[in-house]
Amino acid sequence: MTVTTMCRTRPALRGHLCAGTLNGLSVTGDAQHQYQTLHKMYNNCEIVMGNLEIVLIDHTQDLSFLQTIREVTGYILIAMNVFAALPLQNLRVIRGTQFYEDKFALFVLLNYNPNTTHALRQLGLNQLTEILAGGVYIEKNAQLCHVDTVEWRDIMRDPRLEPLVRDNGRACPPCHESCAGHCWGPGPEDCQKLTKTICAPQCNGRCFGRAPNECCHEECAGGCTGPLRTHCFACRHFNDSGSCVPLCPQPLIYNKLTFQLEPNPDTKYQYGGVCVRQCPHNFVVDQSSCVRACPNDKMEVEKNGLKICEPCAGLCPKACEGTGAGSKYQTVDSSNIDTFINCTKILGNLDFLITGLEGDPWRNISALDPEKLNVFRTVREITGYLNIQSWPKHMHNFSVFSNLETIGGRSLYNRGFSLLIMKNENVTSLGLRSLREVSAGRVYITENRRLCFLHTVHWAALSRSRADLDIRNNRPRSKCRAWGKVCDPLCSAEGCWGPGPGQCLSCRFYSRRGVPPCQPRRALRDPREFSQGGECTECHPECERIDGGATCNGSGADTCTRCAHYRDGPHCVERCPDGVLGERGPIYKFPDGSRECRPCHENCTRGCAGGRGHRGERDGRGLGGRAPTLIAVMVVGAVFLSCSLVLLALLYWRGKKIQKKRAMRRYLERGEPLDPSEKANKVLARIFKESELKRLKVLGSGVFGTVHKGIWIPDGDSIKIPVSIKVIQGWSGQQSFHHMLAIGSLDHSYIVRLLGICPGPQLQLVTQLLPLGSLLDYVRKNRGAISPQLLLNWCVQVAKGMYYLEEHRMVHRNLAARNVLLKSPSQAQVADFGIADLLYPDDKKYFYNELKTPIKWMALESIHFGKYAHQSDVWSYGVTLWEMMTFGAEPYAGIRLAEVPDLLEKGERLSQPQICTIDVYMVMVKCWMIDENIRPTFKELANEFTRMARDPPRYLVIKVSPPKTPPGPPRTPPNPPETLTQDSPSPHLVTKVSPPNPPKPLPNPPKSPKSPIPVPHPNQESGAAPPGEPPLSEKELDEVETLELEEEEEEEEEEELDGTFGLAPGLGPQRPRGSCARVRPPGAGGGLGMSPRCPCRVPAGASSRVPAMSPRCQLPCPHVPVVSPRPHDVPSCPLGVPAMSPQCQPPCPRDVPTMSPRRPLGVPAMSPRFQPRHVPVVSPPCPRDVPMVPAPLSPRVPVLSPRCQLRCPPRVPVLSPRCQLRVPPVSPRAVPSVPAPSVSPRVPPQSPSLLSAPAGYIPMNQPGLGCARQVPGAGGVWGV
């Protein structure tokens, strides 16, 4: 993509003109960079010479600088923006000299954000009255109003074109009543001004009223205020200082008196649609127009500082494509050498490789004849680079390029070289005698064993920017002197390209344009020459030759000592003027006796032979008449000089600014190898000196040190680069240098790149300065402005950054929200990776103290054993997610660091954030698994959050923006009381600690007349089928027998697998989360679970391999919780209480904690195969007998709440829309027992018998209740 850059060097010609762009929908950089580019190009601009493209601009940006634009010569493109209104209220005309998609002059598309309410609502082109060429396309702008009310036929000049305006805003207010149905907005000031369809038939174009005498001038465009050419809003052809004209003032005008074309002192050039006195510096003059390049039959020449196109005397200069372009290969060879004949300019590059000079058998190309290289003697400019890696052995210099003046460097070789000469064994001098400029790029000259003279060249004078040289491994300077390879004595100190005075960069005494160019002092004896700036220049031909003295002191006709013919005032002329046109008519003069030209008498009309007096009177009158003119010229000259000084000052300031930006880009770019012939060096870091870094204010303190805002001032340069400096405390200075190199070689979009280190008593790490700061501070300060999409994008970016570190075997060890920085609100980067390795490189030292160790973010194996791996970073990633989702809350708030490991062993984890659904929270819980082998990888996490980011509202619920709160970490409200015990240390923990002794069962409470629901008997097992349940049918029994046979085969496979791992019988290998108990001994009762693959009854001893939380099937599992594989160790739950309910869990032994690491050898502590005599993580202790809550006491209870358990008929999914769920609420509140009526559980859910159920059943759709109830003892299967 290329942006027209004329306005960058001259933003607006005379404060009015600026260049457009031709990028389409392609942009570079982020939205902020796009806005800055737009502001630089169009600030204080009135006429856009090209296209106006406004793409990807945010709603927060100020576009008021566009109000000054009155005219666009190309097209206008407005796409994918989210600002509300377009501030082009002064735009009058779109000329349409270029079209978008070959047909449209105004193109408006997709200016809205589907995830927010920000969108383009009003075009605001209130003054737009004419589109000279091209059509209109406005589509899919969801909130754009009133564009369908605009009368586009009045604006478009071509009546054959139809505007395409569709799929825009629908809920729009009508136009104001004064607008007659045509408007740009809802107000009276937004009415469309019609200038074409309302005109009288006598008007050829536009008008300013309906009367026949109210027509605009034919040169007007876009309307007018009166009938004159100076009353136009815009010009149809050219604007000459406010007057519309068909042509600009021409360079030559016809003299009626002399019948000749004479120069016009009021010449102006056509630049777009404007007449200008002077063309921009990067344009050339062709007759009366400013053009970018001369036509084929003309050549560019410079006269009096003006670049003009003149017809060629013979063959015009020829521009040829370089190597690698078109059909040419990557080197000059015998197959393409003839295409460079008579070329004066190479558009591209020139490469000389060994395959080109010695031939390429693979491509059947013969060796190159060295004599044919002389075709390059006509080349004066190479726009790209010059690469010479092979040269004929008998040629000792590159004199074939003796006329080469400029190497443009528009395209660079490999790693930024514009002049590359290497491995030429027989070359002794460069011979580039005419080279005066290397516009861009680096100079690389190496491995030329016999090359001399290059050390004398002043390379800095050849480069416009700071010279970047790499000159080495050539012939040493001392050996060159001994060999006699030194510059000629006539050369100046600037050096030379080779031996002799013809190779001097500049002369010590004088230079002459002939040969040789440099002359000694005694050579200046030709009386027809003079010395000017050390150069010998011929005198004017009208100067008389003087022997023994100076003939002239300059090159002009007014610098002669004596004239060869006549003198007319200060000038030497061949003859006196005779009828030359002056201000007041023809001028006649005659020569006097001293050969001075004197004016004739004023009465002489055809010349004279003498003055006859009155010459003094005439001269006096002329002087008096010219006095005001001289004063005016002096005033104009003073104003021009002042403006020039101001312009030069602005150009100097802008050049300094551009130089600073280029220097920052150069210092912050990737590292490059020292030798282009070697492989790329992946190390991007530098070793800084103390003198290069200056620390400013403190940005913050972390676990390993303090972060400062600082500046980096490279040695030998005045540029100041803002950086971030982290001072590491306690660094011994003995760390591995290779480890630093490994950190410096990392470069990714989502990690903060290390610029370098500064070793010393305190290690200083230098990184890029990200002004937005850490993610932790950002989410705390902008809590109300963060969307679900942004949060999930951050999750993806942090996961991808950590996955990149994992690929490069880099363990972070200190991942937290404070160590994630924001490059922009939409881009997060991981920082501070590898710092722990700098402090403890051997991975054996572990210091446990509250100041240095981030215990709350560390995995359990890292706390206990000092073991760090990528999976321990996954644990920290889960805590970082929790920080983001709670908007910066502190994990484990109020808990001492020494207590955190014990809490983690007991199975306590951070609570579910308010904005997270269970899907996001489950990802966090998987990151906090004790067994590191079953935690997800960063690649899996990145894929998971990428999937979630496609539909953010489904996974994160942020309803409204909360009110602003004082600075500080936001509070996270605690979970409902059902999930916390009385001694929970923190509201951020879900504590599941079982009591030391099992609680005694509650006695049967007295019956309540308000509750028809009886309390289950405490001795009744939860696994037994409820009384009153009908027997299975024969078809169901066949299905159960088939499933039993299949599961017996699966059980045998599990026992074989257990033997492989050396595990005890009854413990199967780990299965996916949520699966039922794997192996049940005979006689074990049935618990409750969920499965899509088994019938709702599974006999004892059968094995269930299916997920327990599926909504497709309710089946009886063992009477133990679903995560426990040892049903014979846990007492049964009462009837009606599911195994996963937090209201009922079997008691634990006194001496075994909930998450105790005491386990059989080889079995992970968090494995669902092992829960030794204790309660699962998700449940607090409760009595074995839990009474029911009557229906009136528990209204609006969610179906999946732990306070409400579902019960459906057999083989009916719990979450099926076909089933009105019959649910018994579970609560520790005791209620009296009431006998239950006999109700068949096989009644269809929507049948009248169920909807009109007797006491004991409450339908789901009953007002005031959130779930249905059923009396224990009726048929059906329990579930969660």
Dihedral sign of CA atoms 341, 342, 346, 347 in order: negative
Cβ contact 223:129 at 8 Å: yes
Q: Phi and psi for 194 in degrees, rounded to 5?
A: -85, 130
Q: Residue 86's closest CA among 138, 29, 132?
A: 138
Collapse the DSSP code of 357 into the 3-class scheme (helix H, G, I; strand E, B; otherwise coil) and give the result.
helix
Cα–Cα distance measured from residue 1037 to residue 1112, given in angstroms and rounded to the nearest whole number: 19
Q: Which amino acid, 1004?
A: N
Extract the tokens encoding 328. 């040419």
Q: Is 477 exposed, middle or buried (0-12, 13-18, 19+ CB in 10 A)?
A: middle
The number of CA neighbours under 13 Å toward the Cβ of 941 is 36
What's the angle, vertex CA 663, arms to CA 660 and CA 667, rounded to 5? 140
Cα–Cα distance measured from residue 1181 to residue 1168, given in angstroms and rounded to the nearest whole number: 19
DSSP per-residue codes, 896-959: -GGGHHHHHHTT-EEPPPTTB-HHHHHHHHHHT-SSGGGSPPHHHHHHHHHHHHTSHHHHB---
User: Of 81, 349, 448, 814, which one is the catalytic site residue?
Assistant: 814
Burial 1146-1180 (b: 16+ CB within 10 A, else e): bbbeeeebbbbeebeeebbbbbbbbbbbbbbbbbb
Cα–Cα distance measured from residue 107 to residue 102, given in angstroms and rounded to the nearest whole number: 11
Provide Rg for the chain, Cα atoms. 45
Q: How far is CA 347 from CA 308, 353, 432, 1068, in A?
A: 21, 19, 19, 74
- Terminal C-alpha separation, the chain: 59
Collapse the DSSP code of 450 into the 3-class scheme (helix H, G, I; strand E, B; otherwise coil) and give the result.
coil
Q: Which residues contact 24 (CB under 8 A, 6 or more apart)?
A: 53, 77, 100
**β-strand partners of 365:** 360
**How many other CB atoms are found less than 10 A from the CB of residue 201?**
6
Cα–Cα distance measured from residue 297 to residue 724, given in angstroms and rounded to the nearest whole number: 58
Q: Which H or E element spans position 233?
A: strand 232-235
Cβ contact 530:550 at 8 Å: yes
Locate tokens 């000017």: which residue? 532
Q: How far is CA 1260 from CA 106, 448, 1272, in A?
A: 58, 92, 17
Q: Phi and psi for 147 in degrees, rounded to 5?
A: -70, -25
Cα–Cα distance measured from residue 375 to residue 1256, given in angstroms and rounded to the nearest whole number: 106
Q: List % helix, strand, coil for the chain (3-state, nearest 5).
A: 20, 20, 55
Cβ contact 685:666 at 8 Å: no
Locate tokens 């209480």: which residue? 1137
Locate tokens 């970018």: which residue? 292
The answer to whether 814 is a known catalytic residue is: yes
Alpha-carbon dihedral 436, 437, 443, 446, rounded to 10 degrees: -20
Extract the tokens encoding 586. 């023809």
DSSP per-residue codes, 238-267: EEETTEEESSPPPSEEEETTTTEEEE-TT-
* Residues that are catalytic: 814
